[in-house]
């Protein structure tokens, strides 16, 4: 991943661990009036990009169509440490596979998908829109 810190660096190790282990990240888009709009989302990384599935009526999709710059903010520790912010460009993916057909997403969230929607397919019907975020930076 070209945007990632070196794997042997402390930041690189932390970021890779959190990309794999964290359940929720805060995706921040920008509304038409310039107001930042943070939303907690589920995510996976597939190598170069970060993948997020969305409801088709989510306002963040409108924001991204007009202003594709986003940030992904990881929760801090209770004392305010371990801050990680990833910046990048988001895009909506037409003809994307549904969430239940994306192995990494099902591996990470399958149990929760079933709990929320009754089945993997039910979740896919509720959250059909894939965003792909191409990161271009990380800060800590």
DSSP-derived secondary structure for 41-76:
E--EE-SSSEEEEE-TT-HHHHHHHH--EEEEEPPP
How far is residue 69's CA from residue 88's CA, in Å, rounded to a whole number?
Answer: 6
Whole-model pTM: value is 0.92
87 part of a folded domain:
yes
User: Which DSSP letter does residue 9 get?
Assistant: S
5 part of a folded domain:
no
Q: In what order do the strands lie in the sheet with 85-93?
A: 36-41, 25-30, 69-73, 85-93, 129-139, 50-54, 44-45
Note the pLDDT of residue 7: 83
List the domain range (segments joined by +) for residue 40.
10-139
3 part of a folded domain:
no
Q: What is the pLDDT of residues 39-75, one digit of tens each?
A: 999 999 987 899 999 999 999 999 999 999 999 999 9
Residue 107 belongs to a domain with what CATH number? Answer: 2.30.110.10
Is 80 within 8 Å of 73 (Cβ atoms)? no
37: which residues sit within 8 A by CB, 6+ positions away?
28, 29, 30, 31, 59, 60, 63
22 part of a folded domain:
yes
Question: Helices (DSSP H) in the chain: which residue ranges?
Answer: 10-21, 59-66, 103-117, 120-126
The domain tally of the chain equals 1
Is 49 within 8 Å of 112 (Cβ atoms)? no
1 part of a folded domain:
no
The pLDDT confidence band at residue 4, using thresholds 50, 70 and 90, is confident
109 part of a folded domain:
yes
The pLDDT confidence band at residue 1, using thresholds 50, 70 and 90, is low
Reduced to 3 states (helix: H, G, I; strand: E, B; else coil), residue 126 is helix
């Amino acid at each position: 991943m070209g945007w990632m810190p070196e794997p042997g660096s402390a930041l690189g190790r932390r970021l890779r661990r959190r990309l794999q282990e964290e359940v929720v990240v805060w995706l921040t888009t920008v509304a038409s009036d310039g107001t930042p709009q943070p939303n907690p989302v589920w995510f996976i990384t597939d190598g170069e990009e970060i993948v997020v599935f969305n409801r088709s009526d989510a306002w963040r999709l409108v924001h991204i169509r007009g202003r594709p710059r986003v940030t992904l903010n990881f929760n801090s520790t209770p004392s305010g440490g371990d801050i990680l912010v990833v910046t990048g460009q988001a895009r909506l993916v037409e003809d994307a596979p549904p969430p239940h057909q994306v192995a990494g997403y099902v591996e990470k969230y399958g149990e929760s998908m079933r709990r929320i929607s009754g089945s993997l397919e039910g979740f896919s019907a509720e959250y059909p829109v894939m965003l792909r975020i191409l990161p271009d930076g990380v800060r800590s």
